[in-house]
Amino acid sequence: MGERRREPGAVLPPRRAPAASGGNVVCDINTTPLIDVMLVLLVTLIVSLPVMTHAVTLNLPQVPPQSNSTQPQFIDLEIDYDGTLVWDGTVLTSWEQLETYLYTEAQRTPQPEIHLRPDPRVKYDRVAKVLAAAQRNRLQKLGFVDTEAFRD
């Protein structure tokens, strides 16, 4: 009874796959080929894009350099370890004298450069007061010089 005989010319019905548990048919889309195609398209797009070079051309006016025959004047302002102020070799006796010198130099055109040389042992409070006085008098060119002593 278990064997089926095939007669010539007879067509057998197809065999059925065993039903999954519960009898539901599973229909999933295989996304692997879709992802592969998307990646190939992405790589093709990236490789085929021309190199983007955006350049902005500016036609700037050509101004001949001005010869500046006058060298900027500078003034040495030293602060000794005990707080003594020395203005271009002259020892200042009071803060009012420093304020007067700073105000006078701020009125000049062009303003001279003030080269501040504090001693490494001077208290920062004294240097801060000199900087505040220069700012009050609207000096614009002030800089610390000989700062190698402060590297330690």
In the chain the domains, ranked by start, together with CATH numbers, are 74-147 (3.30.420)
Higher pLDDT, 75 or 60: 75
Average pLDDT of the segment spanning 46-55 = 68
User: Which two tokens mark 91?
Assistant: 């020892």
State how far the Cα of 85 lies from the Cα of 82, in Å rounded to an integer: 9
Average pLDDT of the segment spanning 13-35 = 72
> Are the C-beta atoms of 112 and 72 separated by less than 8 Å?
yes
Q: What is the pLDDT of residue 68?
A: 64
Average pLDDT of the segment spanning 117-124 = 89
pLDDT averaged over the chain?
Answer: 81
DSSP state letter for 137: T
Q: What is the pLDDT of residue 77?
A: 92
Average pLDDT of the segment spanning 137-141 = 88
pLDDT band per the 50, 70, 90 thresholds, residue 151: confident
Q: What is the pLDDT of residue 41?
A: 93
State how far the Cα of 8 lies from the Cα of 142, in Å rounded to an integer: 114
DSSP state letter for 70: S
State how far the Cα of 99 lies from the Cα of 132, in Å rounded to an integer: 10
Look at residue 30 and give its three-state secondary structure.
Answer: coil
State how far the Cα of 135 lies from the Cα of 129, in Å rounded to an integer: 10
> Are the C-beta atoms of 144 and 116 separated by less than 8 Å?
yes
Q: What are phi and psi of 87, to 5 degrees?
A: -100, 105
Q: What is the pLDDT of residues 28-38, one digit of tens each?
A: 888 888 999 99
- With a pLDDT cut of 70, the percent of the chain lying above it is 76
